[in-house]
Amino acid sequence: MKTELRTDITVGDICKGFHYNTLEGKGVRGWNGKLIIQPEYQRNYIYANGKDDVAVVDSLLKKYPIGLLYFLKVGDEYEVLDGQQRITSFGRFVSGQLDVLDANGMPRKFDPALHGWLLKRPLTIYICEGEGDDPEREIKEWFKTINIAGKQLTEQEFLNATYSGPFVTSAKAVFSNSSNANMQKWKRFVSGDERRQAVLTTALDWVSKGHVEDYLKDHRYDTGITELTAYFDSVIAWIDGTFKDVKDEMCGLEWGRLYELYHAKGYDIDKMWERIEALFADADNGIVKNKRNIFEYVLGGETKHELLKVRLFDPKIAKRVYARQTEEAKAKGVSNCPDCVLAHSTNAKRIYAFNEMEADHVTAWTKGGDTSEANCQMLCRHHNRVKGNS
Ligand SMILES: [Zn+2]
Please state, in angstroms and as integers, the Cα–Cα distance from residue 13 to each residue in 9, 62, 83, 129, following that order. 6, 20, 15, 21
Q: Kindly state the helix (H) or strand (E) to which residue 29 belongs, with its residue range.
A: strand 26-30
Q: Are 375 and 369 in contact (CB under 8 A)?
A: yes
Kindly indicate the confidence band of residue 179, based on its pLDDT and cuts at 50, 70 and 90.
confident
Report the pLDDT averaged over residues 253-265. 96
Are residues 320 and 286 both part of a single domain? no
Report the pLDDT averaged over residues 227-238. 97
Please determine, for residue 390, whether its predicted confidence score (pLDDT) is greater than 50: no
Cβ contacts of 29-32, under 8 Å, gap ≥ 24: 30/87, 30/91, 31/78
Share of the chain above pLDDT 70, in %: 91
Q: Kindly state the helix (H) or strand (E) to which residue 79 belongs, with its residue range.
A: strand 77-82
In this predicted structure, what is the pLDDT of residue 324?
96
Residue 260 lies in a domain: no
How far is 253 from 228, CA to CA, in rounded Å? 19
The residue among 281, 307, 333 that closes a domain is: 307
Are residues 169 and 297 both part of a single domain? no
pTM: 0.59
Are residues 177 and 59 both part of a single domain? no
Ligand 1 center from residue 5 Cα (angstroms): 76
Residue 332 lies in a domain: yes
Report the pLDDT averaged over residues 349-369. 89
* Phi/psi of residue 272, nearest 5 degrees: -65, -40
Q: Is the dihedral of CA 229, 235, 238, 239 positive or negative?
A: negative
For 31, the domain range is 2-153
Domain count, the chain: 4
Ligand 1 center from residue 381 Cα (angstroms): 7
pLDDT in tens, 38-64: 876 556 666 777 888 898 999 999 888
Ligand 1 center from residue 380 Cα (angstroms): 4
In this predicted structure, what is the pLDDT of residue 26?
65
Residue 261 lies in a domain: no
Q: Are 316 and 357 in contact (CB under 8 A)?
A: no
Residue 302 lies in a domain: yes
Ligand 1 center from residue 319 Cα (angstroms): 17
Please determine, for residue 376, whether its predicted confidence score (pLDDT) is greater than 80: yes
Ligand 1 center from residue 388 Cα (angstroms): 13
Q: Which residue has the higher pLDDT, 378 or 386?
A: 378
Count CA within 13 A, CB hemisphere, residue 335: 21
Q: Are 273 and 251 in contact (CB under 8 A)?
A: no
Ligand 1 center from residue 328 Cα (angstroms): 16
Are residues 204 and 347 both part of a single domain? no
Are residues 14 and 72 both part of a single domain? yes
Ligand 1 center from residue 358 Cα (angstroms): 10
Nearest to 95 by CA among 53, 127, 134: 53
Residue 249 lies in a domain: no
Ligand 1 center from residue 384 Cα (angstroms): 8
Nearest to 259 by CA among 202, 198, 199: 202
The residue among 136, 153, 170 that closes a domain is: 153
